[in-house]
Amino acid sequence: MNNTNEPKWLDNAVFYEIYPQSFNDTNADGIGDINGITEKLDYIKDLGCNAIWVNPCFKSPFGDAGYDVEDYYMVAPRYGTNEDLANLFKEAHKRDMHILLDLVPGHTSVQHEWFKQSMKAEKNEFTDRYVWTDSIWEEPQGMGCIRGISDRDGSCAVNFFSHQPALNYGYYKPERPWQQSMDDEGPKATLEAMKDVMRFWLQMGADGFRVDMAGSLVKNDEDGKGTIKLWQNVREFLDKEFPNAAMVSEWGEPDKSLQGGFHMDFLLHFGPSHYNDLFRCEEPFFSSRGKGDVSAFVEKYLENYEKSEKKGLMCIPSGNHDMGRLSQEVKGDELKVAFAFLLSMPGAPFIYYGDEIGMKYVEGLTSVEGGYGRTGSRTPMQWDDSLNAGFSNAKKEMLYIAQDSDENRPTVKNQAADENSLYNEIKKLIKIRKEHTALLSKGEIEFVAAKKDTYPLAYVRSSEGEKILVVINPSAKEVTFEFDARLGETIYSFGGSVESDGKTVKASGQTAAFIKLV
């Protein structure tokens, strides 16, 4: 395992994910911008978050909300300028906060200059920058492709939507004449070009990157071996030039990503993690109906935890721009219990903007910029009761995405004023997390109650002699579990009571508690 030197600030990092176009609009064009993020840094810090992941903010035709990059070196004009982004870094650092940019290394937009050059029939330095077959009649196996759009004889592989041509990092085991190896000049040049992009933003003040589809770069890969090797190459470059740059992968397989030199990985709503069992299925574990099952999640979590050498580097997000809102299936006090879990697990927590006030998924919206079913999770932030909930001074019909029109929609203003609100509960939880080493990213975890089809979920977090029992009972029923230990001071509790006779712990319905062990 690659024992990467980790930036110290990750130990107590609590992240806030910002979808820039929907967060805060300062120039009244209906679209959020970089200065809008800078303006709200004090809000984010006051919540307790000290790190931010900004979704892609580079120049783009926005066919996939910015995940189709047209120019890696330029902030999209609708968000502002490179100077605005440099100023955001500076203002964040003044507040002891850190900013991760979203790096999309797997593909570009068809409008990227690299792709325009790559489409030409005559050979040039960008001919091999993308994955092309050598005949228009041959499609790349197992991938979508674009063809018949230029004079070049070949089909170009795409990574996601049909306007996102796949960058060429080589094939682990080339099987066709047009498949290049990782060591060929084209793939090597692509990797160097991506390092240059990283270099540019890190020199400007970025603190690292969240990397989109990090596990997908090398094609025909054998169990991730080629992609791991590629990221180890990047890790060497970063260790030499930017040792404090943090790297978080969208990979979902910590045994691979951490070996590749990433500091953290996500448990994702796709793949083998059983993350959806918690919040996003017919009977989520965090529903008060008490019909959920957390056991498969815990089993997979422990497997990954062992593979990551118990470093607690797996991040469990409240949600993100690619999935339904947390409040779709989990509501009211269930959300508070869910956040007690999210903010007491190892790894850095990630809060998706608006989840801290229980923003709703807005049903029935027409797709915006490739959002499709995800569009309802990307609606503008709800700040207060002024025009457009304080998001923008533009006319309502100019907003990037229509806002939640419910007159009782949650806002930061009304949640901050209510001491029993979700917002204030999350604030309290983050504060308690930061006050106890055992609850931070690297504190160890041992599950003491996580049986199939039963409640509660309970685990002990420990670090430097401090041990804290976390009891999470989302169900409405009182529950018990066997636990042979003396309970000490309760440092956090929500809902009812948690009691112990030294052998059995009893927890009221819809309760969460953190209790020191004596």
**Model confidence over 377-410: pLDDT tens digits?**
999 999 999 999 999 999 999 999 999 999 999 9
Residue 312, pLDDT score: 64
- pLDDT value at residue 298: 97
Q: What is the DSSP letter of 377?
A: G
Answer whether residue 241 shows pLDDT above 50.
yes
CA 401 to chain centroid: 21
pLDDT score at 5: 76
Closest by alpha carbon to 353, among 332, 373, 378, 334? 378
The answer for residues whose C-beta is within 8 angstroms of residue 37's C-beta and 6 or more apart is 18, 20, 23, 24, 52, 54, 88
Beta-sheet pairing, 457-463 with 444-449? antiparallel
Distances (CA, A) of 29 to 21, 168, 368, 394, 403: 11, 37, 16, 6, 15
Q: Please say if the pLDDT value at position 189 is more than 80.
A: yes
CA angle 249, 12, 245 (to 5 degrees): 45
Identify which of 27, 17, 18 has the alpha carbon closest to the alpha carbon of residue 81: 27
Residue type, 263: H
- How confident is the model over 25-29, as a mean pLDDT? 98
* pLDDT for residue 310 is more than 80: no
Kindly report the average pLDDT of the chain as a whole number.
96
Please write the tens of the pLDDT for every residue from 326-348.
999 999 999 999 999 999 999 99
Query: 183: which DSSP letter?
Result: T
Residue with tokens 């009649």: 137
The Cα 375–Cα 364 span in angstroms is: 9
pLDDT tens digits, one per residue of 193-209 = 999 999 999 999 999 99
Q: 4 falls in which pLDDT band (50, 70, 90)?
A: low
Q: What is the pLDDT of residue 2?
A: 44
Span of 187-191, 266-270, 429-433 with lowest mean pLDDT: 266-270
Q: What was the pLDDT predicted at 133? A: 98
Write out pLDDT tens, residues 47-97. 999 999 999 999 999 999 999 999 999 999 999 999 999 999 999 999 999
Average pLDDT for 239-265: 93
pLDDT of residue 457: 98
pLDDT band with cut points at 50, 70 and 90 for residue 3:
very low
Decide if pLDDT at 9 tops 90. yes
Alpha-carbon torsion (55, 59, 65, 67), positive or negative: negative
- Sign of the alpha-carbon dihedral angle for 459, 421, 275, 252: negative
The answer, yes or no, to whether residue 1 has pLDDT greater than 60, is: no
Whole-structure pTM value = 0.97
Residue 453, pLDDT above cutoff 70: yes
- The tokens describing 482, both together, are 């066997």
Helix (H, G, I), strand (E, B) or coil at 44: helix
3-state DSSP of 380-417: CCCCCCCHHHHCCCCCHHHCCCCCCCCCCCCCHHHHHH
At residue 291, the pLDDT reads 97
Q: 473-506 b/e with 16+ CB inside 10 Å = b?
A: bbbeeebebebebebeeeebbbbbebebeeeebb
The answer to whether 380 and 400 have CB atoms below 8 angstroms apart is yes
Q: How confident is the model at residue 304 (pLDDT cuts 50, 70, 90)?
A: confident
CA dist 74 → 57, 58, 241, 470, 501 (Å): 9, 6, 22, 45, 62
Phi, psi of 10 (to 5 degrees): -70, -20
Percent of the chain's residues with pLDDT above 70? 99
Q: Which of 436, 445, 446 is nearest to 491 (CA)?
A: 436
